Amino acid sequence: MEKTSLENIRKEFPIINVNVIHKGRLSKMDKLALFVTEKIGTMGFFFIIFTWTILWLGWNIFAPKDLKFDPYPAFVLWLFISNLIQLHLMPLLLIGQNVQGKHAELRSEHDFETDKKAEKEIETITEYLKNQENLLQEILKKLEEKK
């Protein structure tokens, strides 16, 4: 096998870390959106919101009348705060998912390039093995002729 053909393949398809490339392309807003997306998509965040909701509603249902601040059954303040949270988090989540999608696409393109490199290397190795087999066949013929 010729070293030059494998070296040419390696030069044509250098090894790169797409994660570093992707991270370098992110703006501060993209990083914020990713941070929010990664933190909100956890069970910990769910339990925080769930606990906050139970405490808020429980307090405003069972607390003494003069200590209630968001009257049952409307819970207007709770609904207002919940809607504000949703309105601010939804766009950030969508932006974060778009950034994650771009990263996945970049990784996919890199995988394709790696596959092309591997295919060329396999072709080179296969040609080398075919040549070796042909040489061995010739040697066997010559040895059989000498017998």
pLDDT-above-70 percentage for the chain: 90
Question: Across the chain, where does the E strand assignment appear?
Answer: none
Neighbours of 80 (CB within 10 A): 11
Is residue 110 a contact partner of residue 51, using CB atoms and an 8 Å limit?
A: no
Domain ranges, ordered by start, for the chain: 3-146
Token code pair at residue 49 = 């919101």
Is residue 121 a contact partner of residue 114, using CB atoms and an 8 Å limit?
A: no
Give helix then strand counts, H and E, for the chain.
5, 0
What is the three-class DSSP state of 134?
helix
pLDDT, residue 23, reads: 82
Neighbours of 18 (CB within 10 A): 17
pLDDT, residue 48, reads: 94
Q: What is the pTM of this model?
A: 0.60
The rounded mean pLDDT for the chain is 88
Tell me the pLDDT tens digit for each residue of 52-103: 999 999 999 999 999 999 999 999 999 999 999 999 989 888 888 898 998 8
DSSP character string of 34-83: HHHHHHHTSHHHHHHHHHHHHHHHHHHHHS-GGG-SS-TTT-HHHHHHHH
Q: How far apart are CA 34 and CA 102, in angstroms?
A: 12
